[in-house]
Amino acid sequence: MARPSRRITRQPNAKAAKSKEAAKSKEAAPAQSGSHLRWSALMVVLVAVALWSALPKNTFSKQDRSESPVRSKTGSTPPPAESAGQDHGQGRTEAAKEAAQSPSEILSEHQRREREWIPTTLNRLQVADSMLVGERRVRPKPVKPRLQEKNSKTDVKMYTMEKFMSEHECQGLIWAHDQHVQKMKDPLFCFDSESTLKSHLKEHKQLRHLKLSDADFSEGTTCLNTSMSRVLDKHIKYSTSTAFYTGENKFSLEMDKRIEEATGMPASHGGKYQLTSYEPGVGYKSHTDCRVGSGEKRDRYATVLVYLNDVPAGGQTIFPKLGVEIEPRQGRTLFWNSMSADGVCDSLSIHNASRVESGRKVILQRWYYYNTFPTLGKRYDPPRIPERNESQPFISCDEYDSGSCRMYDEWQYIHIKEYVRQQMRG
């Protein structure tokens, strides 16, 4: 790809130069309205400071640009908070309109959009033989499964690519993630069910004595209040996730193009980009990215996972039924499909992140969906409850046997009781 030519314009006088300098200075000021705007500003700093100077001038695309239906047993309409992003113009207009609505009104509106929506389908990987990433030529390497069960078959196809991201890109994303996490204080613990909460309390002997009442929960939610969450925070370990969306920074646009060239998967089927860090002793239990047996087509067809650093010990991605174990190495990318061509979730795609034994692990991950849906590709403002500080994140602990606890910077609707009740009614 040829480098874009630089256009040089004459500055007519010193006064004009000063005016232009002031305008640039004003444009560079960080956004102050809302957590996702602060994150966007952070990512702009990332691009400007950590990446732009280190990459060829043609690295960033000048084109345009998305997470999931709620993974509930009902398979009903997805809430806005697990969607991915478009530009803030439309997204914030939508959010401002919804801010005055109740959860049931929001759900009703999304169901209406769902009825009018005509989805597109992604049902295969189209893997490139090789591709240029900056000035590097990289090639995908098929990962051959070693099936652990007799007479089993799988639709999962898996590939790795080395140096899919440069060292500068990896370090820049880690820096941006860490800067954002430092601003997150006093997380609230939220649970998908009473049984999950009880299982976590039972797992830690320091918490077994706790007797919780309604007063320990934030009103209208399945989240513990700040004081009780502080008690759990001393004992329960969790990974930490921050998100950015396509179109919020130039890097996201480049990654959209890069992933599509490598896998054939278009950005229109992609969820948000998630940066996730694991400290020593933290992993993630065995799970599938799609929901087995649900029949849901608005589900995670494929996953793209980039390791942003080397991990001295532990942190492998393990597919126990496929006999595959991937070591985390900086810039290495793993991608695989979890669903068949006809949209059936493959149970053999079950995988886990082994606990980090030494150092830490940071990844960039994005899910791609079999069918598109209205909220895919949009960032919405978070729900109004629970009451919280602007910098207060939440920790979601899901399905004790097949999930783990993870802290998120984006509040979601899955822990709002009224929203879940309305979903269950259909």
pLDDT for the residue 88: 32
In the chain, pLDDT over 90 holds for what percent of residues? 66
Model confidence pLDDT, tens digit, residues 202-245: 999 999 999 999 999 999 999 999 999 999 999 999 999 999 99
pLDDT: is 229 or 32 the higher one? 229
Model confidence pLDDT, tens digit, residues 323-358: 999 999 999 999 999 999 999 999 999 999 999 999
- What value, to the nearest 5°, has the Cα angle with vertex 379 and ends 272 and 26? 100
69: pLDDT strictly greater than 70: no
- Residue 213 burial (C-beta neighbours within 10 Å; 0-12, 13-18, 19+): exposed
DSSP state letter for 267: G
Q: What Cα–Cα distance (Å) separates residue 267 from each residue in 84, 218, 341?
A: 11, 37, 19
pLDDT for the residue 30: 39
Average pLDDT over residues 275-291: 97
Q: Which of 37-46, 232-241, 393-402 has the lowest average pLDDT?
A: 37-46
Average pLDDT over residues 369-383: 89
Q: What Cα–Cα distance (Å) separates residue 249 from each residue in 28, 117, 172, 263, 374?
A: 13, 28, 13, 22, 22
pLDDT for the residue 116: 87
pLDDT for the residue 99: 53
Going by pLDDT thresholds of 50, 70 and 90, the confidence category of residue 29 is very low
Closest CA to 240 of 279, 276, 273: 276
pLDDT for the residue 43: 54
Which segment, 50-54, 58-62, 171-175, is predicted with the most confidence on average?
A: 171-175
Whose tokens are 């960033």? That residue is: 60
Burial state string for 248-257 with b = 16 or more CB within 10 A and e = fewer than 16: bbbbbbbbbe
Which segment, 2-11, 12-21, 98-107, 263-272, is predicted with the most confidence on average?
A: 263-272
Model confidence pLDDT, tens digit, residues 129-142: 999 999 999 999 99
Model confidence pLDDT, tens digit, residues 160-199: 999 999 999 999 999 999 999 999 999 999 999 999 999 9
pLDDT for the residue 309: 98
Q: Which of 29-33, 317-321, 384-388, 402-406 has the lowest average pLDDT?
A: 29-33
- What value, to the nearest 5°, has the Cα angle with vertex 422 and ends 72 and 78? 45
Letter for the amino acid at 128? A
Beta bridge partners of 396: 190, 406
Model confidence pLDDT, tens digit, residues 71-118: 443 344 444 433 333 333 334 445 445 555 777 777 777 778 788 899
pLDDT for the residue 18: 47
Work out the mean pLDDT of the chain and round it to a whole number. 82
User: Which uninterrupted H or E stretch holds 342?
Assistant: none
Length of the chain: 426
pLDDT: is 375 or 31 the higher one? 375
pTM strictly above 0.95? no
pLDDT for the residue 81: 36
pLDDT for the residue 339: 98
64: pLDDT strictly greater than 50: no
393/424 Cα distance (integer angstroms)? 26
148: pLDDT strictly greater than 60: yes
